[in-house]
Amino acid sequence: MLVDDEYMILEGLKQILPWHELGFEIVKTARTGTEALAYLKDAAVDLVISDITMPEMTGIEMIDKAYQRGDKFAAIFLSGYQEFEYVKEGIRLGVKDYLVKPVDQEELLAIVEKIKIELDKTVHRQEQEQLVLENSLSRWLNDELNETDFYELMDHFGTNPFGPFTVIKILSESDILLAIVKEAQKVGQPLIIAGGPQQYQQITLIFDGTSANVLHFLAYLKRQYPKILKIFVGETIEEWENLYESYEKVLQIEELNDFYPDLLPTFAADLAEEIRESEFSFLAFNKSLMIGDQKTIQQELDAVFEDAVARQLQPENTRYIAFLLFTDISRQYPTATKDIYEATIEKIRQSHTVYQLKELLENVLQMAKRQPVEKQFSEMTQKVIDIVQNHYRQDLTLKLVADQLHLNAVYLGQVFKKEMHNSFSQYLNQIRIKRAQQLLLHSNLNINEIADEIGYNNTNYFSKMFKKLNGITPKEFRDAYHGDYADLQS
């Protein structure tokens, strides 16, 4: 932006350098400091070249006010007076340089080229920082972020770490997504991951706020951006550790959209909002699957379908819910549902009543009970399963297992997750916690001893992980199920 009260000076500055060749675009010329300040309030500018002596407000006052309110840009001062006080004041503000009128072309060129190098370095650094932040957000979505890193991440964004949180994925054209990102950041929602080069651009937003706030935000998006292609909304969760459950719901709905579109309700977004408004929750059913007690699972399944009946959902909406419930079962019991996945989807598709769908899922659970614990996966995945089940007490990591199998860790992790519907670390924790359940039910070991027995050297971490997966503490599990537990896969 060029700022000077003399029209001919502004025109001369436009022509004095080949701005486009240098990588700059003149986006604004202003005749007063007030005009320049107003523009800077709503627009991002990298470089401001401003006269000092102007009516109403000096260039120094304008730059000072802009910097004080947080505007970030490089600045060069121009003046017809070579006075030391001006130079000193500019240095105090952090102005890049000071030129005396008439401006020397070579001198200005050297300063601008220097500023361009510094701006490029800043942009590169910001891009690297953004990649690091997005990687941390992605790890959080995929249940790979530890507590320390989580609180550091929230501190960096200045975001409330106590939730609740909801994952929202939006597919649209890049200009619409860019506008949505700016809108989200403006209303205090900075937890955003930009999508990669796919058929459509996408962003994933981790919304910080209540379910009612989510609905309000979604309604605003639909009004403001009617050309949005798709919005996939996960479940609102209270604890940050369970965010992966919300993300998993987004992925399930996206899979439905990609591979089984006829199972989507005609008004999927409206159904999602209906589910949210009635606090319809899949989380309790998910936790019951991990607990593994047949009676508990049945109670949670009954609760889901009683809710569906009470709200008189249409068959297509209930099929949608049944698909999500089945994928939850499949994620928890991949060895038992691998061979029946497509067949079950077809049965869901053909069901016409709530009761048929409930009976179908009950049959799936019974089938999971009858199936042996291990079924055939790829040789690679089966080897990982064997290592985890035989050595879960050790300090296992994906890299250690990959090295043992002479494989690339990233590739192994991708193959394993695709087949098991869980990451390596999630599967390892599930195996350990399942063993902890057995020890709680069938031994007199205390919590410290059980933590050590299953490979956790930190009792507090064990208790947190147990509650995260089961929804209750180890003590609550022992009190509730000791002498009254029927394992679904026993």
What is the torsion angle, in degrees rounded to the nearest 10, for the CA atoms of residue 326, residue 328, residue 333 and residue 339?
40
Per-residue confidence (pLDDT) for residue 368, from 0 to 100? 77
In a domain, 369, yes or no: no
In a domain, 41, yes or no: yes
Report d(CA 23, CA 295) in Å as an integer.
Answer: 68
Q: Tell the burial category of 411 from Cβ atoms under 10 Å away from its Cβ (0-12, 13-18, 19+).
A: exposed
Report d(CA 357, CA 250) in Å as an integer.
Answer: 22
Per-residue confidence (pLDDT) for residue 83, from 0 to 100? 57
Residue 326's closest CA among 296, 353, 304? Answer: 304
Q: What is the CATH number of the domain that holds 117?
A: 3.40.50.2300
- 14-58 pLDDT, tens per residue? 999 999 999 999 999 999 999 999 999 888 899 999 988 888 898
Residue 250's closest CA among 329, 167, 321, 163? Answer: 167
Is there a contact between 101 and 53 (Cβ–Cβ < 8 Å)?
no
Q: What is the CATH number of the domain that holds 425?
A: 1.10.10.60
In a domain, 404, yes or no: yes
Residue type, 407: L
Core vs surface per residue 444-453: b (16+ CB within 10 A) or e: eeebeebbeb
Cα separation values, 429 from 200, 238, 271, Å? 35, 21, 34
Cα angle, residue 423 at apex, residues 324 and 244 outer, rounded to 5°: 50
Tokens for 392, please give them. Answer: 């879960």
CB atoms within 10 A of CB 20: 9
In a domain, 254, yes or no: no
Is there a contact between 294 and 488 (Cβ–Cβ < 8 Å)?
yes
Per-residue confidence (pLDDT) for residue 106, from 0 to 100? 92
Is there a contact between 82 and 100 (Cβ–Cβ < 8 Å)?
yes
In a domain, 393, yes or no: yes
Cβ contacts of residue 449 below 8 Å, gap of 6+?
A: none
Longest dimension (CA), the chain: 92
Residue where a domain terminates, one of 100, 123, 146: 123
Residue where a domain terminates, one of 73, 100, 123: 123
Per-residue confidence (pLDDT) for residue 278, from 0 to 100? 44
H helix and E strand count, the chain: 24, 9
pTM of the model: 0.73
Cis check for the bond before 315: say yes or no (omega within 30 of 0): no
State the residue range of the domain holding 54. Answer: 2-123
DSSP per position, 224-285: H-TT--EEEE---BSSGGGHHHHHHHHHHHHHHHHH-GGGS-TTHHHHHHHHHHTT--SHHH
Is there a contact between 188 and 225 (Cβ–Cβ < 8 Å)?
no
Report d(CA 449, CA 258) in Å as an integer.
Answer: 47
Residue where a domain terminates, one of 106, 123, 140: 123
In a domain, 144, yes or no: no
In a domain, 218, yes or no: no
What are the helix (H) ranges across 94-210? Answer: 105-141, 147-157, 174-186
DSSP per position, 37-91: HHHHHHS--SEEEEES--SSS-HHHHHHHHHHTT---EEEEEES---HHHHHHHH
Report d(CA 367, CA 333) in Å as an integer.
Answer: 11
Report d(CA 177, CA 153) in Å as an integer.
Answer: 23
Name residues of the chain where pLDDT drops below 50: 197-199, 268-272, 274-279
Q: What is the distance between the terminal CA atoms of the chain, rounded to a whole angstrom?
A: 72
Per-residue confidence (pLDDT) for residue 307, from 0 to 100? 86
* Residue 70 backbone class (left: φ over 0; alpha: ψ -120 to 50; beta: rest): left
Residue 230's closest CA among 199, 209, 206, 208? Answer: 199
Cα separation values, 466 from 431, 451, 481, Å? 11, 10, 15
Is there a contact between 74 and 46 (Cβ–Cβ < 8 Å)?
yes
In a domain, 167, yes or no: no
Domain total for the chain? 2
What is the torsion angle, in degrees rounded to the nearest 10, for the CA atoms of residue 329, residue 335, residue 339 and residue 342?
30
CB atoms within 10 A of CB 253: 23
